[in-house]
């Protein structure tokens, strides 16, 4: 008997809900209806042939008198690992380069200006195991590694900014490991890097064994296509983390992730979307797909039997806009490329309408937070 596979929420809604009700359900669950982008036939054919989900949506803004539209196309890529996790390290990396390279090629055909890959995209998400070997061998220099060189070639070839989240080895600081997103400019130069600020200690996400909380703050990268930031995976549960990227001027915040259904799927559609609303910016949530098996069993001190895998990485990558609208998610089970055309003018238009930045009491929060982190802090609770 074949196993029941739940491919996506959208597909199920479209299959079972009558049209009139579906329109209302989508309005409530997804916000305003997005214009579908007509993607080139060559791209659609290539996606079919290469077996990945390809979808395209536009987030339009109202015309303005003094500014022209500021349109940028982003591409979100989600993918499975290719080889078994016990294949030679370089073979695993090379196979992923090849697969992602062929998806990026389609992104280029679709006119994508900025592409973002999933968290630690060159490797299996092996941080559940707590083993050092061979996983630490996947670490590379952010500035000069094999993978960064590969992304530089893609960036130059396609005139595309490439956000490449990797396991970084920092040779300048004793070979320290970090969970880092490298931002490669469309010119092919490394614009810089942004390290994961929040390290999970939940479920099988035993990442604190490998790297510490990042030390690059809330860096924003001024690209030719807009100001971007990268809030890596677990950082999406921290509203102040999103806020700080936005405070530094991010217009688009990418959230490359690796997370599994049993742990976080009900939170997935809310967190990045809420961040887009709260911070008057676009957010792009990207998750890996599929199952990854590890030879040695592991446990995570939660009473569960020793096991060989994290569970299912559910993909479902999506884009959310400051007006609360969002794209449908990519497949839960297949590799995919989501192309989204964003008119960045929407950020200011929504800021002028809702005024969250203006009405936020940042001075009050700053003052109270400064006190709250002091040892002598006492909560402001009135008791009878």
Ligand X SMILES: NC(=O)NCCC(=O)O
For residues 106 and 233, which CB has a smaller minimum distance to ligand X in the complex? 233
- Signed CA dihedral, 211, 213, 215, 219: sign only: positive
Cβ burial of 370 (10 Å; 0-12, 13-18, 19+) is exposed
Query: Quick one: 241 or 264, whose CB is closer to ligand X?
Result: 264
Stated as kind and residue range, the H or E segment containing 37 is: none
Phi–psi pair at 205, nearest 5 degrees: -80, 80
Backbone angles phi, psi at 86, to 5 degrees: -100, 10
CB of 202 to ligand X, least distance (A): 6
Asked about 304 being catalytic, the answer comes back as no
Question: Which residue, 134 or 203, has its beta carbon nearer to ligand X?
Answer: 203
Q: How far apart are CA 252 and CA 221, in angstroms?
A: 10
Task: Using the minimum distance from each CB to ligand X, give the nearer residue, 226 or 315.
Answer: 315
Of 10, 119, 140, 292, the catalytic one is: 119
Closest CB 200 distance from ligand X, rounded Å: 4
CB 107, min distance to ligand X, A: 23
Residue 259 interacting with ligand X (CB under 6 A):
yes
258 binds ligand X (CB under 6 A): yes
Binding ligand X by CB under 6 A: which of 57, 59, 135, 205? 205
Residues 6+ apart with CB under 8 A from 226: 70, 72, 114, 251, 252, 344
CA distance 125 to 263: 15
Q: Please, what is the minimum distance in Å from the beta carbon of residue 252 to ligand X?
A: 20
Contact present, 129 and 135 (Cβ < 8 Å): yes
316 contributes a contact to ligand X by CB under 6 A: no
* CA–CA–CA angle 209, 210, 216 (5° rounding): 120
**Is the CB of residue 314 less than 8 Å from the CB of residue 284?**
no
The region of 51-59, 152-160, 257-265, 298-306 touching ligand X under the rule CB under 6 A is 257-265
234 binds ligand X per the rule CB under 6 A = yes
Taking the complex as a whole, how short is the minimal distance between the CB of residue 216 and ligand X, in angstroms? 16
Tell the burial category of 277 from Cβ atoms under 10 Å away from its Cβ (0-12, 13-18, 19+): buried
Q: Which of 167, 104, 81 minimizes the C-alpha distance to 132? A: 167
Binder of ligand X out of 233, 244, 330, 344 (CB under 6 A): 233
Nearer to ligand X, 13 or 263 (CB): 263
CB of 134 to ligand X, least distance (A): 19
Residues 128-187, interacting with ligand X (CB under 6 A): none
Per the annotation, the verdict on 233 as an active-site residue is: yes
Count of residues touching ligand X (by CB under 6 A): 11
Q: Which is nearer to ligand X, 194 or 223 (CB)?
A: 194
Let me know: does 155 contact 188? Beta carbons within 8 Å.
yes
- For ligand X, give the closer residue by CB, 110 or 233: 233
Stretch that binds ligand X, among 33-41, 80-88, 252-260, 362-370 (CB under 6 A): 252-260
Dihedral sign for Cα 87, 90, 91, 93, please: positive
β-strands 293-298, 307-309 pairing: antiparallel
Cβ closer to ligand X: 225 or 268?
268
Ramachandran region, residue 274 (left: φ > 0; alpha: ψ -120 to 50; beta: rest): alpha
200 binds ligand X (CB under 6 A): yes
**14 classed as catalytic:** no
CA 98 → CA 43, 101, 104, 154, distances in Å?
17, 5, 10, 11
Reference 80, options 258, 211, 237, 200; nearest CA is 258
Binding segment toward ligand X, per CB under 6 A, in 70-78, 211-219, 243-251, 255-263: 255-263
**Applying CB under 6 A, does 263 fall inside the site for ligand X?**
yes
Which stretch, 145-153, 198-206, 310-318, 351-359, contacts ligand X (CB under 6 A)?
A: 198-206
Work out whether 119 is an interface residue with ligand X (CB under 6 A). Answer: yes
| Catalytically active residues, by annotation | 119, 196, 233
Residues that bind ligand X (CB under 6 A): 119, 200, 202, 205, 233-234, 257-259, 263-264
């Amino acid at each position: 008997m074949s196993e029941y596979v739940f491919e996506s929420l959208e597909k199920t809604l479209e299959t079972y809900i009558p049209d009139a009700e579906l329109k209302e359900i989508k309005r409530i669950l997804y916000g305003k209806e997005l214009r579908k982008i007509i993607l080139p036939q060559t791209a659609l054919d290539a996606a079919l042939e290469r077996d990945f989900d390809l979808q395209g949506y536009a987030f339009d803004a109202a015309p303005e008198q003094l500014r022209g539209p500021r349109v940028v196309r982003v591409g979100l890529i989600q993918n499975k690992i290719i080889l078994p996790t016990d294949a030679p390290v370089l073979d695993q990396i090379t196979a992923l380069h090849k697969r992602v390279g062929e998806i990026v090629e389609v992104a280029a055909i679709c006119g994508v200006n900025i592409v973002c890959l999933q968290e630690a995209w060159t490797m299996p998400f092996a941080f559940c195991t707590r083993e050092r070997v061979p996983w630490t061998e996947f670490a590379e220099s952010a500035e000069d590694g094999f993978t960064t060189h590969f992304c530089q070639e893609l960036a130059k070839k396609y005139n595309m900014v490439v956000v490449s989240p990797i396991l970084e080895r920092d040779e300048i600081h004793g070979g320290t490991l970090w969970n880092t997103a490298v931002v490669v400019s469309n010119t092919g130069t490394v614009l810089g890097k942004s390290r994961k600020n929040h390290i999970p200690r939940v479920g099988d996400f035993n990442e604190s064994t490998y790297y510490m909380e990042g030390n690059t703050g809330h860096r924003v990268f001024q690209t030719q296509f807009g100001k971007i930031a990268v809030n890596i995976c677990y950082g999406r549960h921290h509203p102040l983390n999103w806020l700080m990227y936005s405070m530094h001027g991010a217009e688009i915040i990418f959230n490359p992730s690796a997370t599994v259904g049993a742990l976080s799927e009900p939170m997935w559609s809310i967190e990045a979307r809420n961040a887009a609303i709260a911070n008057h910016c676009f957010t792009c949530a990207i998750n890996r797909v599929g199952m990854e098996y590890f030879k040695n069993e592991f446990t995570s001190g939660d009473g569960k039997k020793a096991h060989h895998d994290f569970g299912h990485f559910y993909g479902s990558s999506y884009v959310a806009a400051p007006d609360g609208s969002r794209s449908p998610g990519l497949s839960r089970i297949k590799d995919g490329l989501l192309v989204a055309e964003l008119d960045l003018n929407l950020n200011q238009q929504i800021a002028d309408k809702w005024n969250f930045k203006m009405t936020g009491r940042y001075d009050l929060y700053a003052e109270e937070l400064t006190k709250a982190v002091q040892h002598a802090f006492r909560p402001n609770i009135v008791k009878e």
